[in-house]
Structure 1
Amino acid sequence: MRALLQSAFILHRRPYRNTSVLLEVFSQERGRLGLVARGAAAPKSRLKGLLQPFAPLLLSWSGVGELAALIAAEEAGLPIALPPNRVLAGLYVNELLVRLLPRLDPLPGLFAAYEVLLAELVTVPGEEPPLRRFEKRLLEELGYGLTLDCEAISGMPIVAEEHYRYVLDRGPLAVHRTELGVPISGQGLLALRDGILVDPTVLSEVKRLTRAALAVQLHGRALKTRELYRSGRR
């Protein structure tokens, strides 16, 4: 089977044999897939500098199953030049997508959210708000969206001034109902719901919640980018 040129981003790449490259790709129409780019690492290959993360591309491939063969690649716009202090954030999101997205499951809404995220990592003052918004969207696309507007047992609307504990298989519970879960204020739940993440205290709460929810999906597997981030802070 041969595909037409499709919008895509490279999530990860690694050498394969002598001059080829194995790619993890996030495409607009086919979702995540693996490609082998034969000869792409050869000294005179025009693909050598093209197949890089954060560059909007048009790709064509052939084959079915876990690994297809790259046929053609073109630029679909200028590479997104993340500031040096934001590159690790971009790589973190790429690693999440590689670890969590199923193969060949089209997620055009998440693809659009990824494009927005990369643009925001270039332009917005802080990286945390766009990262948290994207993590929330990723959980939704995986079928594990967070309940952010009502208390799990009573069904009552979340109150900004109240405090809750988020139990991941149930939702937010009033603090008097449980000692389990991730502590978070009503303000934090509503801020994540609305995507308006300005207050540093709220951002810290929201980060604990999204990271806990993602950890369940990762089944305890550590992310290399988080390890790099921690080592960089030492």
Structure 2
Amino acid sequence: MAAAHRVSHEPAYVLHRYDWSESSLILEVFTRHHGRIALVAKGAKRPSSNFRPVLLPLQPLEINYGGDAEIRTLKGAEWMGGHVMPTGDALLSGYYLNELLLRLLARDDAHEALFDAYGGVVQVLAGDHGGAQATTQAAALRAFELLLLRGVGLLPQLDVQTLTLEALEAGTRYALVAEAGLRAAADDEAALAGADWQRLQAALDDRAPFTATLRLVATLSNGSNSALRNQLRVLLNYHCGVSMLRTRQLMRDIQAL
């Protein structure tokens, strides 16, 4: 009989956790080399469990697990340090990232560059970059949204019109639209200038795409930032199959209070 598959010292983040029994949890985990996987953490809810203080969202972990079934068994988990959990709006933003990954990533499909970008945006949300301001956090979210869409094959090239493959004109406004890709914008549409889309494509192609895209988005005007946010929100909702993500609705409800 073949030995059960074992993985050791795997970088990971917990995306979500569910009760499995009175004492155990089912975890949705994003790993660097194996993508999104499901794990059972046996006994994790017991007061004496070593897992209790470790299996938290938005925390860098190193895990060991084994098994060949769809749901593997967690054998060990260690917090890798580096930052504390984000709080307030930053925490809700982190939950938003996790919801996107749960909805858009297939199981067992590795995305190493996207994993690294996720770690980068979590550090920004936790304030590891000199007490990151709200504008920097927003730029980090936009950068991750772009990298996620590209990583799962849902983002067209941003330096050409999608249907015609014609080069963009720097001063012309273009809209990013589900199913149609990047096209010339109507007067009342959220859109960016061709020069901005071209710069975004160059940043995504950089050797350090998350950092380059974050820095670029942070330099966009308020109007361009709003237009980019609105277009990406519509595109993400479309591909997630929802009118609004749960975390976005939660943010609205809290703001309404």
- Normalised to the residue count of structure 2, the TM-score between the two structures is 0.82
Deviates more, 1:131-140 or 1:67-76: 67-76
Aligned with 1:108 (options 85, 109, 112): 112
- CA distance change for structure 1 residues 21 and 154 in 2, over 3 Å: closer, same or farther? closer
- Give the deviation of 1:150 after TM superposition: 1.7
Aligned mates of 1:153, 1:95 — CA distance in 2:
30
Q: 1:147 corresponds to which residue?
A: 157
- Normalised to the residue count of structure 1, the TM-score between the two structures is 0.90
Q: Deviations over 1:51-72 (max 9, x none)?
A: 0011111111111232111111
3-state SS, counterpart of residue 65 of structure 2: strand
Q: What SS does the aligned partner of 1:4 have?
A: strand
4+ residue runs over 4 A deviation = 179-182
* 1:70-93 C-alpha deviation (Å, 9 max, x unpaired): 111112224443242310001100
Aligned residue for 2:172? 162
Letter in 1 for 2:98: N
Structure 2: unaligned runs, 5 residues or longer: 204-212
- Residue 189 (structure 1) shift: 2.5
Question: Offset of 1:115 from its aligned partner?
Answer: 0.8
Deviations 1:94-141 (A, max 9, x none): 111111110011111110110111112223322211101100000111
Separation in 1 of the partners of 2:59 and 2:146? 24
- The one-letter amino acid of 1:133's match is A
The verdict on how the C-alpha distance between 1:215 and 1:231 changes in structure 2, with shifts beyond 3 A counting, is same
**Shift, 1:185, TM fit:** 2.3
Amino acid at match of 1:219: G
SS of equivalent to 1:151: coil
Give the C-alpha shift of residue 227 in structure 1. Answer: 1.0
1:131 aligns with 2:141: yes
Tell me which amino acid in the other structure corresponds to 2:230. Answer: R
Which structure 2 residues correspond to residues 83-98 of structure 1 after superposition, within 5 A?
83-98=87-102
CA shift digits 1:173-196 (9 cap, x unpaired): 224xxx599530215534543321
Number of positions where the alignment pairs a residue of Structure 1 with one of Structure 2: 231
CA distance in 1, matches of 2:110, 2:138: 27
Task: State the identity as a percent.
Answer: 30
Kindly report the root-mean-square deviation, in angstroms, between the aligned alpha carbons of the 2 structures. 2.1
